[in-house]
Structure 1
Amino acid sequence: MPQISRVSYTPLYQQICELMREKINSGEIAIGSRVWSESDIMEKFHVSRNTARKAIETLQNEGIVSRIQGKGSFVSQPMVNYGLQNLMSFSEEIHERRLVPSSKVVCFTREHPESFHAENLKISEEDWVFKLERVRYADGDPIAYQVTYIPEKLCPGLLDYDFSSQSLYVVFEKNFNHVLARQKTLIKPVAADDYLAGILNVSLQTPLLYTESVTYLAGGTPIESNKNIYLSERYQFTVLSHRFDPTRSTEEK
């Protein structure tokens, strides 16, 4: 039977949480499997119902388990946490979470940009861009839909690459010698329409995260304009903020 210490400074519910995390991380309790119920925890560890409930609620708040009414709590699919302070490709993000990334190219064409993307890329609507539309997967599950526009003049011959297996950022850096520097991103919630529900295999009106982003090269030239959709139950964004010191700013003036 798993052991907890009643003389430890660590609260009992936290010790139980840690034991459950270890079993989940090791695969002993698989994704989608039912975890211990409140009654199971009470019996295994001889603790109160309040302690058992707090352990399960803690794991739920961390996104590790999810409760299904009338059935119990189950191990959730791992959440992809993208730190906006780091400019990473989708493949890099997924690999960092120890998941396997893959992509399905919906379309990859050469066309003229809409005004929205032309403005983002600081080009004319008469210029040529490559439009790359992909569904992105983690461990075989669709978690994102991305539409990317790239100026042809920055990446001539881009249509020759297979982005179902290649990373766009790796191609930018290795094949075209571009230095990616920063990205500006807007995030807002949306609900799945018929098209997104079908392509991401979710129900109509499922909550999603919508982002618009522009990626810039080291010299300030925009290289890609994106519209992205992420499953909110699998994807979250972390923002690192720094405190602005108005006193210091005044002194410098």
Structure 2
Amino acid sequence: MREISYKSPLYIQLREVIRSKIEEEEYLPGTAIPSENQLMETYGLNRVSVRSALAALEFEGLLKSVKGKGVFVAGPKAKRNMDTLGGFHNTMRQSGGNTATRILSKTLRQAGPYYARLLEISPESTIWFIRRVENTAGEPVALEELYIPYSVVPGLEEVDIKLFSIYDIYQWNGIVLGEGHQTLRITRLPPMLAKHMDVPPEQAVMELSCTTRDRGGRVVEFSRSYVRNDKAEFVVHFRHTNPQLV
């Protein structure tokens, strides 16, 4: 068992002890770790140090606190490659497991100036607006918003988007995706959306925005995904192209 010394802040040492136990699978995903009182007694720490260590690991997404039940090891995060096209719905489908989609909205609306600029259409054009929550193991992971020109998929009202991916629908309509421009930032959700994501409004989430074009250069979609950092992570693949940088 790793010991606690006095060479660095005590809560940092306890944080790393618990992290090691998770990485070495002594604490398995979905199981409860020792209680605050047990950790205080085992490592000779006060409650402030123990709570600080647990809060830091929960912020990283390694632990999940459940009121009245204890602190549990979080399960593996869903991974999303940022160098490939495809929303979180597609990512969750491909990853398998116990996943489900909850549709919050699927409506036709006018583009307006802002989305007209993003979609490169007139402000009076009709677009599809879709808002949905992606769940895994019964918990929300991402809230996704899609803005699609009606002319791109005019038959979308007949398709059950809980069962089929938007990318399946594109394929059925002969749309071949070409390229996308993605941005990632940290933000906070308005209270209504935070409630759908089961997070407090003050908790930061990742926001991924993407403008997608087909092979002909036409904008076919603008998407915005709000992702819980304790449930998912983004992966970027790269390699050096300039040998002088190696």
- Taking structure 2 as the reference length, the TM-score comes to 0.71
The answer to whether the 8 A contact 2:89-2:101 is kept is no
**Could you tell me which of 22, 25, 29 is aligned with 1:20?**
25
**Could you tell me which of 173, 176, 200 is aligned with 2:173?**
176
Deviation of the 1:96 alpha carbon: 4.0
The answer to whether the 8 A contact 1:102-1:165 is kept is no
Could you say which residue in structure 2 is the equivalent of 1:106? 104
Following superposition, which runs of at least 4 residues in structure 1 exceed 6 angstroms of deviation? 15-18
Deviations 1:131-166 (A, max 9, x none): 111122122211111211111112112111111222
1:86-125 to 2 correspondence within 5 Å?
A: 86-125=84-123
Deviation of the 1:17 alpha carbon: 6.5
- Give yes or no for the alignment of 1:245 onto 2:246: no
2: distance between equivalents of 1:92 and 1:224?
15
Specify whether residues 242 and 192 from structure 1 end up closer, same or farther in structure 2 by C-alpha distance, changes over 3 A only.
Answer: same
Specify whether residues 230 and 199 from structure 1 end up closer, same or farther in structure 2 by C-alpha distance, changes over 3 A only.
Answer: same
Specify whether residues 104 and 95 from structure 1 end up closer, same or farther in structure 2 by C-alpha distance, changes over 3 A only.
Answer: closer
1: distance between equivalents of 2:130 and 2:206?
19
- Give yes or no for the alignment of 1:191 onto 2:188: yes
1: distance between equivalents of 2:33 and 2:95?
22
Deviations 1:24-64 (A, max 9, x none): 4xxxxx51x12589x99xxxxxxxxxxxxxxxx9xx69x68
What amino acid is aligned across from residue 235 of structure 1 in structure 2?
A: A
Could you say which residue in structure 2 is the equivalent of 1:149? 147
The answer to whether the 8 A contact 1:65-1:73 is kept is no
The answer to whether the 8 A contact 1:81-1:238 is kept is yes
Specify whether residues 95 and 17 from structure 1 end up closer, same or farther in structure 2 by C-alpha distance, changes over 3 A only.
Answer: same
The answer to whether the 8 A contact 2:61-2:231 is kept is no
Deviations 1:80-120 (A, max 9, x none): 12111122342332244342332122121122113222112
Could you say which residue in structure 2 is the equivalent of 1:201? 198
Taking every aligned residue pair, what percent have the same amino acid on both sides? 20
2: distance between equivalents of 1:72 and 1:202?
18
Deviation of the 1:19 alpha carbon: 5.4
**Unaligned runs of at least 5 residues, structure 2:** 1-19, 40-53
2: distance between equivalents of 1:185 and 1:230?
14
Partner-residue secondary structure (3-state), 1:208: strand
What is the number of residues matched between the two proteins?
210
What amino acid is aligned across from residue 130 of structure 1 in structure 2?
A: W
**Unaligned runs of at least 5 residues, structure 1:** 1-14, 25-29, 41-56, 248-253
1: distance between equivalents of 2:209 and 2:22?
37
2: distance between equivalents of 1:95 and 1:130?
22
Deviation of the 1:190 alpha carbon: 0.8
Specify whether residues 166 and 95 from structure 1 end up closer, same or farther in structure 2 by C-alpha distance, changes over 3 A only.
Answer: closer
2: distance between equivalents of 1:117 and 1:227?
12
Could you say which residue in structure 1 is the equivalent of 2:127? 129
**RMSD (Å), alpha carbons:** 3.4
1: distance between equivalents of 2:136 and 2:111?
30
- Taking structure 1 as the reference length, the TM-score comes to 0.69
Could you say which residue in structure 2 is the equivalent of 1:54? none
